[in-house]
Each structure stands twice: as structure tokens, then as C-alpha cells.
Amino acid sequence: MCSRRDDSVWDDTAVTTAGSASDLLGDSFADLSDVAESERQWIAPWCAERARGWRDRTEARTVVSGRTDLERRGMVLALIQLYAEVAQLMLEGRWAGSAIGFFGYEDPASRLLRALAGIRMGWTAPQARALAAYASKPGTTTGQGGCSLFAVAARALEQLNDSDLADSAQELVSLRNAADSTWGSAGETERIAAVQRLKQQVWRAGAGSRNRIGRRALDWRDEFGPAARLAVLRVVPEPEAAIALEVLGLFGTGSEPTRSWRTWVGEVGAAQVAEVARPLLSTVLTLEDNPAVINPSQYPILLGPESTITTRGAAWALTMAPEPDDVRLLHDVAVKCASKPTLGDPRPQRAAGLASSAIAALGRFQSAPASAVDALQNIHDNIRNTSVKKQAADAKATLTR
């Protein structure tokens, strides 16, 4: 993938016409143009030097942590400008390859942008909107900062007050859709985290789809999504199903719910959300294993990453509006998802994330503690995975305190 670096690509005579940060992003960044240019002057050679033989992978975080807020914002704009220059060099046939540090997910420039994406900065509302609009453009993040640019824009929108966020609804939804439509193994964890933050801000701004089940409400990359959609609509009208699915998709990447998520479920109605959760989890039980191909870690056995988040929310939703058969449903889901698919398959569990949440939810099933204890004991006795056994034992201990 790498080629020999052409030292002329960053010479003054070889500078492209990609434009300054304000040219690329708009007039709201005019007051940052000087600091962005100052940061650009050291970032380009810094990245090129480290692309030749970088060993310290934590250096980018160290560099970012020692900068002021103004300098960090200047670094973001400088990186956007440099990525735009790289794109133009590629179009003009003057691109020297990834050896100058501006192409792969692990390259120095990408690591700098990832380190910046994890920090809150003092963006104004117009600047946050402009960052979101730029990151949403088709092709902007392809080989140009990857998913880190989504994360930078998502964090900028996240810090807006409710009024400014409502005014940014169009940019917010466009960025959510762009991040949700991007696919690739590099940066996938980062992309999913950015999508989750964006979905939460879409909800906060009241800009979600509240009457129809959107294309992205259920993961369109796996078999679960279409099957679950049909199962839900058999028992719940679409308007009610749409808003319940939206709030289930806000669950986040952890195994247990946040206080905010519980509040959102309460706003919709715990019973309504649980009514949608049951057919979702029942659908998981009907899915067949997806055989491992090419790279087993990239291909889900049962659930894609977004489906895992939604079904984790479904498992916890049952604890908020329980019915008698819910313990059995959670038990069956946990057993299936925690089991190893087939002999020789390198993946340890069918759907570890959902298994973990189903077991944890059983540990909070106060409405039927005896049944939940029996279910957890059965999981402990019949699953070989030592991590699952510990989860089941811990959840049982929670119920029997």
C-alpha cells in the first residue's frame, strides 16, 4: 500500500488549490485561519516523518493533550485542509502514496484526528454545523480521516444547547445518515460510537422518524433487520413501533442502560417499548448462523453492530415492563447467543454482546426472582464459556442478596 515518499508534495511549489479552512468550511472559521495555517506547517512534516518508521503509537495523544483549545481547533482545521490537498493530489496524479502519513487508519494523521475527536472543544454553533455539513458530504471521509471526522463533528454538535441543537437538526440528521451508511473494518468501533452519539442528539433535538420505521432503525447489514421488522409490524402498528425502535437504538455500546436511556424509555412508555422488544428478541431465536468467510472478526454470526445495540436495549426494556414469559425469553436468547456456533469456528460466541445484556437483565428481574434465579443457574450449568459462567453467577448473586 505504501510507496516511496515524493518530498516535493508538500513543497510550496506543489501546494494545491484545495483552499484554506474557511474556503472549505465557510466564513465561520475565518478567525481560525491563521492558527490553522500555523498548525498545518508542523503537522505535514510531522506526519511524513513518522510514516517512515513510527514506533510510539501513543505520541499523537501526548501531542494533543499538551495543546490549548485554540490550537486543537486549529489542528482539526489543518488536518481537514491537508486531507483535502491529498484528495486533490490524487486526482491530479501527484499523490505519492500512504508513505507521507495521510492515508491508512493507523497513519499519523489519522491518529492525530482520532486523539482530537475524543476532546470537547470550544466550537461555536455555526462552526459545529459547518463541521457536520462538511463531514456529511459524499467521499469526504473516504481515506480522509476515516470515521474520526464523524466523531469530531458529532462531539461538536453534542456540546450545543437545546436551542442551537434544534437549529442544527438538518445537519445533525445528514451527519447521522452519512455515518450510518459508512462501512469498513478500519475504525468501525469508532464509527459505531459516533453513530450512537448522533442518534442520541437526534432524539434530543426531536428530529427523528417518529411515524415510520426508517431504513436504519434496524441494521440493514444483517439478516436480523428485515426479519425483525416484519415480526414487529405483525403485533405493533408502525407509528408506535417506529418511536419504540428509535429509543431502543439509543441504548449505547455498554451492556447496561444509562440513566438517560431509562428516562427516554419512560417518555415513550415502558410498556410500548417492551411490546416491540419481545418480537425483536424472538426473532433472534429464529436466526441461523452466518458462516465465517474471509475474516471471521468482520462477519457477525447473528447480529451486526447496530442490531446488537438495539437488541441489548430490548433485553433491558423487558425489565421495565415485565410479563410472565419474559424470563424464559431472556434465558433462551442468552443461551443461544452465548453458545459457540460450530466446531472449529474461531469465534467464541454467536452474539456475546446480547448474551451479556440478557444475563445482566435477568439479574434485575425482581418481578419473578425465583424464575430468574433458575434461568441463570441453567445458563451457568450449560454454557462452557468461563466468562459467561461468571456473568450468570454475578447476576444470580444480585438477585439473591
Q: What is the pLDDT along the chain (401 residues), one digit of tens a residue?
A: 223 233 434 443 344 445 666 777 888 898 898 999 899 889 888 887 777 665 666 888 888 998 999 999 999 999 888 888 777 766 666 655 544 445 555 678 888 888 898 899 999 999 999 999 988 886 654 444 557 888 889 899 988 998 898 888 888 888 888 887 776 555 667 777 888 888 888 888 876 655 556 556 676 667 788 889 889 999 998 888 888 998 998 888 777 899 989 999 999 999 999 999 999 999 999 987 765 443 445 555 678 778 888 999 999 999 999 998 999 999 999 999 888 766 556 656 778 889 999 999 999 988 778 899 999 999 999 888 888 899 999 999 988 87
* Residue 198 CB contacts under 8 Å (≥ 6 apart), including other chains: 150, 154, 157, 172, 175, 176, 179
CA separation for the pair 177, 351 (Å, rounded): 25
Alpha helices in 222-325 (DSSP H): 224-233, 238-248, 259-268, 270-286, 305-320
Q: 374 — phi, psi (to 5°)?
A: -60, -40
Place of cell 481560525: 32
Q: 173 — phi, psi (to 5°)?
A: -65, -40
Ordered by where they begin, the domains of the chain are 7-204 (no CATH), 224-400 (1.25.10)
- Give whole-number Cα distances, 320 to 116, 242, 355, 362, in Å: 38, 19, 18, 12
As separate numbers, helices (DSSP H) first and strands (DSSP E) second, the chain gives 19, 0
Calculate Rg over the CA atoms of the chain.
24
pTM for this model (two decimals): 0.75
Vertex 194 angle, CA 191 and 197, to 5°: 155
* Residue 183 CB contacts under 8 Å (≥ 6 apart), including other chains: 221
Q: What is the pLDDT of residue 140?
A: 56
Q: What is the pLDDT of residue 12?
A: 39
- Give whole-number Cα distances, 279 to 36, 44, 85, 153, 212, in Å: 52, 53, 50, 35, 18
Q: What is the pLDDT of residue 207?
A: 64
